[in-house]
Structure 1
């Protein structure tokens, strides 16, 4: 044992970073009763130090060409590493292309090449050195690929919500793919000649290409394992390729990958099976889906049908048998006619997550549920609390923004008054960008005495 005056470092790194005596974001006194939010959660061979996860957030900050194309950089160490330092239980690397044409933008990361492994390992190593688990969201953008970073679109003439990435900008207009092909299948329904359009028309994948595509997911998973990643998430939401195949509104194929529920979910099932087969049995596998497209009341939805919450429940019941451990419940993004504004809505996603969780419990199926989506809005947090969970003042403090956020987080993972929890973990995105110390703030407001990073002890919040 090292003397008390020796600053012990984390082993296995080519640089020094102190080994925290107690992992940040975990309670000091484990004998005390603490909210479920701050209790550990074991999933296969991993243990989350708390139930707060950093959701994948696109940053559009990798090289678009050259030897470092798609590779993570010091920027990702700085941003993702800081979330780990400040107590998050798991930190996800953003949507990472399993194929070069699967990136959302030319500046999105990828893991389609062995040359991208070292940079991913460097980020993963630092995340884990701070006590968090490292995760990666594997993805393919499908017909939403080859677009420019949103901040470029916002500054372009007309300030469009999306901007096509040309060949000159590093894009691949001729290799944007989807279940269907042709200008009528462009995501925003606009032709190439329409200057107001922000997306390229896709070409339809052949069955042989789908077979190769599935194998590329498996290869990307293997590379992630080599990089030391702890958790893999398959991105099947937000209108990207898997979501496009799931929905009858965007998949009208007549082969074995289109038509019935079984056929439309076939590519996802094959991807899950291929990934599960090549990763360790001890590694958790997550899946993110859009639980509904919000198309039921639209002209498109009535004409073609759409992916609904009932479909998501049906899919969720298949997942435990396929080796998926956690379902990350989001919604929307697959069609411009969706009839909900996700940025003005309140707790729609958490309610859906709770419903899926309840239906699984009825069938005695073991699948963890993650809730994601604007949980940090104070109004939403207040509404969740007022409907039966975690009611009353927390430590005598009311009406502050962080107070409402803390209440929302508490409600999601810990049912009150006979209500079941809405989810097993929460995934937080934008609020971490505003406040990397969000976990520590929530713990403070809940009166949970958690550890801080060793280097930050002098600025630790006072006890309430």
Structure 2
């Protein structure tokens, strides 16, 4: 098992960057990260963003659980000025797991409490919260809906991995019914209604989720789908356009955002030696977003860049760039040192994956320099992520630096930088994949364990990890 992260200094990383022929940049001047930025009508106090990190710890009725409240208190107090709330389903049949959040009229008070406690924690630790932006990610999980897959387009590579019947283990076949155009149209009202509720409980923005091969992302690449929502570019982006327009009408004061895949990629599998390798494919992928027509292993950003421009004209004011599919090629989305238990060893140097994230976000930011773009891929850099973030903001490659797994391990990293000029090395995420392993462990009365960082948050997750391991 290759282990890559042996770097003791920025100079070590810079030397590896040169050896690999990639374009990672670093700076010891963190002042760009402390500069304010404008998102829609709001001034945001710094350039740090906490990514939407799903805790799988909600209640069965879709309300936040006590661990959910704890997580957002910690995120609120940590000092980042953008807190990007996690996936919240717009329908029950669109939930990815039985503990995924689901905002409805009857549980509005719980979400109002979540917003209030996050903001109170921010004020207690950081002073003013007027420059804090707190949003909620709206999702339909599509083929990854836990009750039953909702398939927008058949995919010869993903369908054999998608369980259609849990009782038999049967996977999606060529006769599996696609979600109809009429069913898709009804989702527009579900998104608009949930967005209106999010505004009423105090969220500043909603994210219409278009990443990680959930429903709207799958539609973006649905070239083989017939009808109004598949085939050409206009049809593939139609449902998201209708959703943005409906949200603007239902909640006109709410900031519109999206987390968008810049590149889907194709699935990888585990070889006998443990290494990851791409699934066998012939020619261009039939379906997929941001893929080269000649080789689906190569990004083609023409459509993602076009779509970002169209979304800006629809009123979207904040875009968060993601990559890949966590169920099919996790090394694209989350470059790692240690794979999850059901995963493969990284088929590339993880710094190459970090560079892919940075280059794709930079290309989109360059196309729309006045649109705030949030970048991804920083946690693998461990204690050196601020140096990369500072250089990318300085060079105009992104507006905000997003941190996901690293925020579970050390949610107060922004305050650490402010107080000491460096991260607390004893609590830096080492990309051990404990959080992913918890998410994948299903032997729980609710069908889903809560997820967090067992090594660096033993108070909440140490006992959970022991239970998963059967200790």
Is TM-score (shorter-chain normalized) higher than 0.5?
Answer: yes
Q: Which has the higher helix share?
A: 2
Residue 460 of structure 1 corresponds to which residue in structure 2? Answer: none
Q: Over residues 146-194 of structure 1, what are the superposed CA-to-partner deviations in whole Å (9 max), with x where a residue is unaligned?
A: 0xxxxxxxxxxxxxxxxxxxxxxxxx23xx3121479997371566489
Q: Over residues 10-40 of structure 1, what are the superposed CA-to-partner deviations in whole Å (9 max), with x where a residue is unaligned?
A: xxxxxxxxxxxxxxxxxxxxxxx97221122
Residue 263 of structure 2 corresponds to which residue in structure 1? Answer: 292
With the length of structure 2 as denominator, give the TM-score of the two structures.
0.67
Please state how far the C-alpha of 1:118 moved relative to its aligned partner.
1.0
Please state how far the C-alpha of 1:438 moved relative to its aligned partner.
0.8
Cα distance change of structure 1 residues 187 and 414 upon mapping to structure 2, 3 Å threshold: farther
Q: Distance in 2 between matches of 1:228 and 1:204?
A: 36
How many pairs are equivalent?
348
Residue 279 of structure 1 corresponds to which residue in structure 2? Answer: 251
Match of 1:371 among 375, 378, 382: 375
Please state how far the C-alpha of 1:271 moved relative to its aligned partner.
1.1
Please state how far the C-alpha of 1:232 moved relative to its aligned partner.
1.1
Please state how far the C-alpha of 1:330 moved relative to its aligned partner.
0.6
Match of 2:389 among 389, 406, 409: 409
Unaligned runs of 5+ in 1: 1-32, 147-171, 379-400, 416-420, 449-464
Match of 1:243 among 180, 200, 217: 217
Match of 1:229 among 179, 203, 213: 203
Q: Indicate the SS of the match to 2:284.
A: helix
Match of 2:150 among 170, 177, 186: 177
Residue 159 of structure 1 corresponds to which residue in structure 2? Answer: none
Cα distance change of structure 1 residues 80 and 198 upon mapping to structure 2, 3 Å threshold: farther
Unaligned runs of 5+ in 2: 1-28, 123-128, 268-277, 291-300, 336-349, 424-471
Q: Distance in 1 between matches of 2:247 and 2:177?
A: 25
Please state how far the C-alpha of 1:292 moved relative to its aligned partner.
0.7
Mapped contact 1:233–1:286 kept (Cα < 8 A):
yes
Please state how far the C-alpha of 1:336 moved relative to its aligned partner.
3.4
Q: Distance in 1 between matches of 2:190 and 2:109?
A: 19
Mapped contact 2:323–2:333 kept (Cα < 8 A):
no
Q: Distance in 2 between matches of 1:354 and 1:367?
A: 12
Mapped contact 2:379–2:404 kept (Cα < 8 A):
no
Q: Indicate the SS of the match to 1:119.
A: helix
Q: Indicate the SS of the match to 2:240.
A: helix
Mapped contact 2:228–2:235 kept (Cα < 8 A):
yes
Q: Distance in 2 between matches of 1:271 and 1:291?
A: 20
Mapped contact 2:264–2:288 kept (Cα < 8 A):
yes
With the length of structure 1 as denominator, give the TM-score of the two structures.
0.68
Q: Distance in 1 between matches of 2:137 and 2:56?
A: 15
Match of 1:92 among 84, 96, 99: 84
Residue 360 of structure 2 corresponds to which residue in structure 1? Answer: 352
Q: Over residues 62-118 of structure 1, what are the superposed CA-to-partner deviations in whole Å (9 max), with x where a residue is unaligned?
A: 222xxxx0001332221111111121112222100001111110111011x201211
Residue 123 of structure 1 corresponds to which residue in structure 2? Answer: 114
Match of 1:304 among 286, 294, 313: 286
